Amino acid sequence: MTSVYQKLLKCKESVDNLMKKAGIGDFRPLVAVVLGSGLGDFADGISICGEIDYADIDGFPVSTVPGHDGRLILGHVGGVAVVCMKGRVHLYEGYDITDVVLPIRLMGLMGAEYLILTNASGGIGADLKAGDLMLITDHIACFVANPLTGANIDELGTRFPDMSTVYRPELNDIIRDMAAKLTIRLPEGIYVQAGGPSFESPAEIRMFKQAGASAVGMSTAIEAIAANHMGMKICGISCVCNLAAGLSPTPLTHDEVQEAANEAAPRFKQLLMEVIKEIGKQG
């Protein structure tokens, strides 16, 4: 057994104990959700049955970014059991990449079959504007490390996982249908993960554009790789918070990102709630 897997099992045991203590030892999520920068409001729509501070989980990485608090929220959306990460850790915080994806793996081990990834991003595609929600149809992750580097965790998945359809077409269809019903504009595109924490240079953005990317951010793709490795069914929605470097006349700020995420939050919450209910019907 690898040491990464041992650490994961320890976290799982810790969560199991905390859930038992809270009287929800038999809670089993169907859907896992990761909330990106400023999108934490969504958690208000959950009928909560338990909350666990990351700091209380043995060995769990704790985020240091303003706007990201660190809690696992357990509860129901329209009767569908969800586990929600309110706050994630990023590579640029200095964590080992296996720690960055540990919470995703943990939610998989808790029983979640579906994973909805969300994030804040900079828009690269000409059709995108600040405040848009973008359906992630694929990603580019080769500019950052791979979370599966090191001994393979055979207990979770295969050494060389296929990556042809990480963002599941059937889930994308649900998201498209729900966005149309709610009259929410939903452009689509490829998300590229950059390392951060500095925003990208205009030259990097031009390169990403040539590579086919529509939006850039500092998370998500490595989480999708880890979740895909363990067979989770994944989809992703990005909140385009600013135009990427060189595409806007003003310098980028973290405050601007949070403001745009706040503005998009009600639309995002509506969409996510309906998507989860629909997954519940089909899952």
Which one is catalytic: 19, 32, 37, 63? 37
Tell me which of 60, 167, 191, 199 binds ligand HPA, using CB under 6 A.
199
Known catalytic residue: 3? no
CB nearer to ligand HPA: pick between 152 and 262: 262
Instruction: Determine the Cα–Cα distance for residues 237 and 185; give it in Å rounded to an integer.
Output: 12
Contact 121, 239 (CB under 8 A): yes
Tokens of 52: 């666990």
Listed ranges 42-50, 171-179, 215-223, 272-280: which one lies at the site for ligand HPA (CB under 6 A): 215-223
Among 166, 216, 225, 232, binds ligand HPA (CB under 6 A): 216
Residue 272 interacting with ligand HPA (CB under 6 A):
no
Indicate the residue among 40 and 122 with the shorter CB distance to ligand HPA: 122
Centre a 10 Å sphere on the Cβ of residue 279 and count the other Cβ atoms it contains.
23
Alpha-carbon distance of 156 to 136, in angstroms, equals: 24
In angstroms, the CA 4 to CA 172 distance is: 31
Kindly identify the residues of this chain, within the stretch 102-161, that bind ligand HPA according to CB under 6 A.
120-122
- To 10 degrees, what angle do helices 254-282 and 169-181 make? 110
State which residue, 165 or 258, has the beta carbon closest to ligand HPA.
258
CA dihedral 108, 110, 113, 119 (to 10 degrees): -60
Specify the DSSP element, H or E, that contains 160. none
E strand map for 151-253: 188-193, 215-217, 233-243
Nearer to ligand HPA, 122 or 157 (CB): 122
The minimum distance between CB 239 and ligand HPA, in angstroms, equals 8
Task: Please list the active-site residues.
Answer: 37, 68, 90, 92-93, 120, 218-219, 242, 254
Residues that bind ligand HPA (CB under 6 A): 120-122, 194, 199-200, 216-218, 241-242, 244, 252, 257
